[in-house]
C-alpha cells in the first residue's frame, strides 16, 4: 500500500494493512465515497504520526487507534466522523500534530472531539487525581458532542483487552478505574455488551484466581447448559412456529463478573448460583405491533413454565432512562431450575447492544427522551466551576445508578429517579427553588419528612416554606447529583455571606492592632489556624471559633506584619504495626519490607498470599490493602498515582489473624469435628469460636491464626469435606475486634 511507504519494515506494513482492512470491513457498507476518503486520510495521518512508536506488547502503536476505530464502527455503530476521530485520538497528545493541524485538515467538529479526548497537560494539585481532571474535561466536551465519551469507552475497552504486557500496579489502577467509572458509564449509555466485558476484564486483573476459576467452571458446564437450554426452548419453539411468529432465540451465560457479584451478595459457591444463563427471544415486528408481539411471546412462555411473580420487569411500557426496552421474567424450568427469559424486538435489541448510537438512529425527531434529559443534567452539573474534581466525579457517579424508580407528580407526570432517592431529591428534580425551600412532602397523600425514601409508583407533592434554606445535613441523605450540586452551591453562597461578616470583624481587629490587612498577614493567620483559604478563615471568625486575642501574639514587634511562632521539634510516636520477621515476607517497590515502613490496612487485614497493593496516604505512610478490599476500587481509581507495587514472598514465619464463617446442619458433635480438623489435623491455633443454631441449622464464626492463603485454602477444603457443612466464607477482622 503506497500510503505506508514511511513504515520501515515489510512485516509491520503487512500487519498494519491487515488491521486497516478489518476496520473497513467493520464500517457501514452505505458509507459514501467522501466518508471513505475521510477515514483513509485520518488513517494516513495517524499512521505517519505514530510511525516510530510501539505499544508495550511490541506491536506498532497505530494498531491501537485502528482497533479503537474498529470498536467505534462495529461494536458501537458510529459513523465516519467518529471513526476518523478514533484513528486520530492520540495524535495531539503523543505526537507533533497540533489541534490547529487537525482543524485545518479535517474541520472544526473533528478538532472539537479530539480536544475532548486529549488529556490535560498542565500541572495541578497532586492531592487531586489526574484521571478525575481528565474525566471532567471529557464530560465538558460531552456537553457538546456525546461521541467523545463513546470513543473514550472504546479506547478503554481496547486497552483492557490488551493489558497483559503491563506491570501489575498499572493493571490494578486501570482495572479499578474501569470498574469505578467506565463500566457504569457504558451501562448508562446503554452499551450492555461493552459494560459486561469491561467488568469481566476488570475482574480478570483485580482478582485473577477468582476470574479463572469461574471461567473454567463455565467452560466445564457448557455442554450441560446447552442440553438444558434445548430442552427448555423445545415446547416454546413449537408454539411460536405454530403461531407464525418471526423470532430468533439466543441462550447465553451470564457474565463472569455478574456471577461473581451474585456469589458475594448471596454468600454462595458457583454451583449454588441458579441463574447462570438467560434465554433471549428476539421478535421481528413493525413498530406499531412491538408491544403486543412481546406480550404474546410472554403469554406463550408462561403457558409452559410458571413465572416468579416478583421477577417480572416491564421496560417496554416504561423504558429505562438510557433507552433500554425489554420484557424480563424468571420462570421455573425443567428439573426445578429458575430461568431468566428476556423478550424484545430487533429494534430494542439493537438499542440494548449499541446503546446511544442506536437510540439516535431510531429517534427520528421524536420528543425529548429520558436519555436526552440525562445529558441535560450532565450539562447542568458541569456549569458549577467551583467544585473540586474528585467531588465532581463522586457527584457524577451518582448519575450512573443502574436501578431506577418511577415516581409521579400530583398531576401524573412521570419522573425517573435512582433507587434510594428521597422526597428532597424529587423536589430538586422539579426545580432548584422548590428543593431549596422544601420542608416536607405528601407521599401518596400522607405527610412525610424530606428524607423519606421513595418507592416505585409513589405520587409525591412537595411542601415548601419561604423561611426554609438548605442545610449541610441534607447532603447525608440525598442521592441524585442534581440535588447534591444544588445544595452545595446554596451552602457555598450562604457561607460567602457569613464570611463577609467575618471579614469585617477581622478588618476591625487588624485596625485596632495597627496591622496591615494584606495577603501576607492573612496567609500567616490561615497557617496559624490551620485553614486552607481566607473564605474558611472569615467564616470561622464569624462563627466565633477563634480567640482573636491570639493575633496580638503573632505581631512582629515594631512593624505591621504577622509572623508564625517557631515550631518546636515534636517527637511523633510511631503507630503500632504488625511486624514481619526477617525473611522478607513482603516486597514493596521490589525492596524487602524491613527497609520500608508500612502498616496493614485494618479495613481488609491482608495475610501472606493475598493479592495486595501498597497505598501511600496523605501522611506519607504506606498501607497494605488486599486487591478485593472494599476500598480498593475507590483508592486505585481516584488516586492511582499513589499505588505502590507490592507482593508476598513465600515464607512461613509469622501467623496472621483471620476469620471463617461456617454454616451447616446442627448435628451432634459438629463442634468436635471442626476442632479436630483445625487443631488436630492442621495444627492451627484458634483465638475464638462462637456457634449459634436455629431450626436445625448452625452458623459459627471462628477466628484463627494462619501463615498464608495456601494454608487457609487447605483448611477450607478439609472443612468442606465434613458431612453436613453447607458453606465456608472468610470474613475480615476489624481493628476494634482485635
- Residue 730 belongs to domain with CATH number: 3.30.70.260
Report residue 584's pLDDT band, with 50, 70 and 90 as the boundaries: very low
Q: What is the CATH number of the domain that holds 39?
A: 1.10.3210.10
Compute CA 249 distance to the chain's CA centroid, rounded to the nearest angstrom.
32
Supply the DSSP symbol for 472: G
Point out the least confidently predicted range of 10-24, 97-111, 122-136, 409-423: 122-136
Compute CA 503 distance to the chain's CA centroid, rounded to the nearest angstrom.
42
Arithmetic mean of pLDDT over the chain: 80
With respect to residue 203, please indicate whether it lies within any of the assigned structural domains. no
| Span 291-296, average pLDDT | 94
Residues 543 and 616 in one domain: no
HEC sequence for 111-146: HHHHHHHCCCCCCCCCCCCHHHHHHHHHHHHHCCCC
Provide the domain count of the chain: 5
Q: Which domain holds residue 604?
A: 586-648
Half-sphere exposure of 564 (CA within 13 A, CB side): 13
With respect to residue 720, please indicate whether it lies within any of the assigned structural domains. yes
Residue 186: the pLDDT is 84
Residues 685 and 631 in one domain: no
Residue 122: the pLDDT is 32
Q: CA–CA distance from 35 to each of 32, 40, 46, 357, 361 (Å)? A: 5, 9, 17, 18, 18
Distance CA 612, CA 287 (A): 53
With respect to residue 580, please indicate whether it lies within any of the assigned structural domains. no
Count CB atoms within 10 A of the CB of residue 211.
Answer: 19
Point out the least confidently predicted range of 157-161, 324-328, 570-574, 592-596: 570-574
Residue 159: the pLDDT is 92
| Catalytic residue ranges | 93-94
Residues 542 and 677 in one domain: no
| Span 116-123, average pLDDT | 52
pLDDT digits (tens, 9 = 90+) for 402-443: 577 888 888 877 788 888 899 999 999 999 999 999 988 999
Distance CA 122, CA 310 (A): 53
Over 70: is that where the pLDDT of 380 sits? no
The pLDDT > 70 percentage for the chain reads 81
The pLDDT > 90 percentage for the chain reads 19
With respect to residue 391, please indicate whether it lies within any of the assigned structural domains. no
Of 6 and 302, more confident: 302
Which of 333, 363, 393 is the endpoint of a domain? Answer: 363
Q: 18-36: b or e for each residue (b if 16 or more CB lie within 10 Å)?
A: ebbeebbebbeeebeeebe
Distance CA 16, CA 7 (A): 9
| Span 638-651, average pLDDT | 68
Residue 160: the pLDDT is 94
Length of the chain: 738
Q: What is the CATH number of the domain that holds 303?
A: 3.30.460.10
Count CB atoms within 10 A of the CB of residue 688.
Answer: 12
Which set of grid coordinates corresponds to residue 132?
Answer: 478525575
Over 60: is that where the pLDDT of 533 sits? yes
Residue 382: the pLDDT is 56
pTM score > 0.75 for this model? no
SS3 label, residue 375: helix
Report residue 310's pLDDT band, with 50, 70 and 90 as the boundaries: confident
Residues 30 and 145 in one domain: yes
With respect to residue 190, please indicate whether it lies within any of the assigned structural domains. no
pLDDT digits (tens, 9 = 90+) for 686-735: 888 888 877 778 888 898 888 778 888 889 888 888 888 888 888 877 54
With respect to residue 681, please indicate whether it lies within any of the assigned structural domains. yes
Which set of grid coordinates corresponds to residue 54?
Answer: 510501539
Residues 672 and 641 in one domain: no
Residues 504 and 604 in one domain: no
Residues 353 and 277 in one domain: yes
Which set of grid coordinates corresponds to residue 729?
Answer: 466464607
Over 50: is that where the pLDDT of 672 sits? yes
Which of 501, 530, 554 is the endpoint of a domain? Answer: 554
With respect to residue 526, please indicate whether it lies within any of the assigned structural domains. yes
| Span 538-542, average pLDDT | 86
SS3 label, residue 147: helix
Which of 311, 331, 363 is the endpoint of a domain? Answer: 363
Max avg pLDDT among 190-204, 316-330, 591-605, 651-665: 190-204
Q: CA–CA distance from 279 to each of 275, 294, 487, 541 (Å)? A: 10, 14, 45, 65
Max avg pLDDT among 387-401, 469-483, 589-603: 469-483
Report residue 638's pLDDT band, with 50, 70 and 90 as the boundaries: low
Distance CA 687, CA 604 (A): 18
Residues 661 and 725 in one domain: yes
Over 70: is that where the pLDDT of 362 sits? no
Over 80: is that where the pLDDT of 241 sits? yes
Residue 128: the pLDDT is 44
122 burial level (CB within 10 Å; 0-12, 13-18, 19+): exposed
With respect to residue 81, please indicate whether it lies within any of the assigned structural domains. yes
Residues 250 and 286 in one domain: yes
Residues 120 and 28 in one domain: yes
Report residue 489's pLDDT band, with 50, 70 and 90 as the boundaries: confident
Residue 296: the pLDDT is 94
Residues 235 and 322 in one domain: yes
pLDDT digits (tens, 9 = 90+) for 181-205: 788 888 877 788 899 999 999 999 9
Residue partners of 571: CB distance under 8 A and separation at least 6 = none
Report residue 530's pLDDT band, with 50, 70 and 90 as the boundaries: confident
Residues 590 and 694 in one domain: no
Residue 231: the pLDDT is 92
Amino acid at each position: 500500500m503506497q500510503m505506508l511507504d514511511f513504515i520501515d519494515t515489510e512485516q509491520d506494513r503487512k500487519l498494519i494493512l491487515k488491521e486497516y482492512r478489518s476496520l473497513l470491513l467493520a464500517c457501514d457498507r452505505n458509507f459514501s465515497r467522501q466518508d471513505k476518503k475521510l477515514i483513509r486520510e485520518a488513517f494516513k495521518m495517524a499512521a505517519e504520526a505514530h510511525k516510530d512508536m510501539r505499544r508495550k506488547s511490541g506491536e506498532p502503536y497505530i494498531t491501537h487507534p485502528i482497533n479503537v476505530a474498529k470498536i467505534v464502527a462495529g461494536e458501537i455503530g458510529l459513523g465516519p466522523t467518529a471513526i476518523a476521530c478514533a484513528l486520530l485520538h492520540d495524535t495531539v497528545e503523543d505526537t507533533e500534530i497540533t489541534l490547529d493541524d487537525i482543524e485545518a485538515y479535517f474541520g472544526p467538529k473533528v478538532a472539537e472531539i479530539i480536544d475532548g479526548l486529549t488529556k490535560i497537560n498542565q500541572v495541578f494539585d497532586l492531592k487531586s487525581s489526574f484521571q478525575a481532571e481528565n474525566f471532567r474535561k471529557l464530560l465538558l466536551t460531552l456537553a457538546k458532542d456525546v461521541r467523545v465519551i463513546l470513543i473514550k469507552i472504546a479506547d478503554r475497552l481496547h486497552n483492557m483487552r490488551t493489558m497483559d504486557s503491563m506491570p501489575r500496579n498499572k493493571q490494578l489502577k486501570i482495572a479499578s478505574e474501569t470498574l469505578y467509572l467506565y463500566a457504569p458509564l457504558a451501562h448508562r449509555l446503554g452499551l450492555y455488551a461493552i459494560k459486561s466485558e469491561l467488568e469481566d476484564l476488570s475482574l480478570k486483573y483485580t482478582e485473577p484466581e477468582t476470574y479463572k476459576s469461574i471461567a473454567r467452571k463455565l467452560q466445564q458446564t457448557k455442554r450441560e447448559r446447552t442440553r438444558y437450554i434445548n430442552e427448555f426452548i423445545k415446547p416454546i419453539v413449537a408454539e411460536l412456529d405454530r403461531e407464525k411468529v418471526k423470532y430468533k432465540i439466543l441462550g447465553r451465560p451470564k457474565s463472569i463478573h455478574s456471577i461473581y457479584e451474585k456469589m458475594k451478595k448471596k454468600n454462595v459457591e458457583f454451583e449454588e448460583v441458579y441463574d447462570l444463563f438467560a434465554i433471549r427471544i428476539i421478535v421481528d415486528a413493525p413498530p406499531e405491533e412491538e408491544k403486543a408481539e412481546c406480550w404474546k411471546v410472554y403469554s406463550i412462555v408462561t403457558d409452559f413454565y410458571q413465572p416468579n411473580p416478583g421477577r417480572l420487569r416491564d421496560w417496554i411500557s416504561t423504558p429505562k432512562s438510557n433507552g433500554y426496552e425489554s420484557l424480563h421474567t424468571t420462570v421455573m424450568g425443567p428439573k426445578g431450575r429458575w430461568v431468566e427469559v428476556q423478550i424484545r424486538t430487533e429494534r430494542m435489541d439493537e438499542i440494548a447492544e449499541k446503546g446511544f448510537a442506536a437510540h439516535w438512529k431510531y429517534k427520528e425527531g421524536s420528543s425529548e427522551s429520558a436519555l436526552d434529559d440525562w445529558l441535560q443534567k450532565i450539562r447542568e452539573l458541569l456549569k458549577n466551576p467551583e467544585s473540586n474534581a474528585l467531588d465532581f466525579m463522586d457527584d457524577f457517579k451518582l448519575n450512573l445508578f443502574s436501578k431506577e424508580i418511577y415516581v409521579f407528580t400530583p398531576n401524573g407526570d412521570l419522573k425517573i429517579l435512582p433507587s434510594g432517592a428521597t422526597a428532597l431529591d424529587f423536589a430538586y428534580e422539579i426545580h432548584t427553588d422548590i428543593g431549596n425551600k422544601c420542608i416536607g412532602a405528601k407521599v401518596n397523600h400522607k405527610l412525610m419528612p424530606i428524607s423519606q425514601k421513595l418507592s416505585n409508583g409513589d405520587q409525591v407533592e412537595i411542601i415548601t416554606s419561604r423561611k426554609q434554606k438548605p442545610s449541610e445535613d441534607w447532603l447525608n441523605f440525598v442521592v441524585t447529583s442534581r440535588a447534591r450540586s444544588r445544595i452545595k452551591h446554596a451552602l457555598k453562597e450562604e457561607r460567602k455571606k457569613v464570611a463577609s461578616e467575618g471579614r469585617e470583624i477581622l478588618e476591625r481587629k487588624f485596625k485596632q492592632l495597627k496591622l496591615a490587612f494584606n495577603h501576607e498577614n492573612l496567609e500567616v493567620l490561615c497557617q496559624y489556624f490551620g485553614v486552607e483559604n481566607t473564605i474558611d478563615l472569615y467564616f470561622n471568625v464569624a462563627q466565633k471559633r477563634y480567640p482573636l486575642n491570639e493575633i496580638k501574639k503573632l505581631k512582629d514587634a515594631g512593624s505591621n506584619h504577622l509572623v508564625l511562632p517557631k515550631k518546636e521539634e515534636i517527637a511523633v510516636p510511631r503507630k503500632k504495626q504488625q511486624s514481619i520477621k526477617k525473611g522478607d515476607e513482603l516486597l514493596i517497590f521490589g525492596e524487602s519490607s524491613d527497609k520500608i515502613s508500612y502498616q496493614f490496612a485494618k479495613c481488609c487485614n491482608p495475610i501472606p498470599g493475598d493479592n495486595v497493593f501498597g497505598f501511600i496516604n496523605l501522611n506519607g505512610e504506606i498501607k497494605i490493602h488486599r486487591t478485593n478490599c472494599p476500598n480498593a476500587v475507590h483508592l486505585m481509581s481516584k488516586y492511582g498515582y499513589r499505588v505502590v507495587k507490592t507482593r508476598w514472598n513465600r515464607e512461613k514465619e509469622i501467623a496472621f489473624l483471620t476469620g471463617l464463617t461456617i454454616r451447616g446442619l446442627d448435628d451432634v458433635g459438629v463442634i468436635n469435628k471442626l476442632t479436630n480438623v483445625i487443631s488436630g489435623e492442621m495444627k492451627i491455633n484458634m483465638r475464638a469460636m462462637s456457634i449459634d443454631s436455629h431450626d436445625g441449622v448452625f452458623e459459627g464464626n471462628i477466628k484463627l491464626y494462619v501463615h498464608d492463603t495456601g494454608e487457609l485454602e487447605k483448611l477450607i477444603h478439609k472443612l468442606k469435606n465434613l458431612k453436613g457443612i453447607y458453606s465456608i466464607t472468610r470474613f475480615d477482622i476489624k481493628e476494634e475486634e482485635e
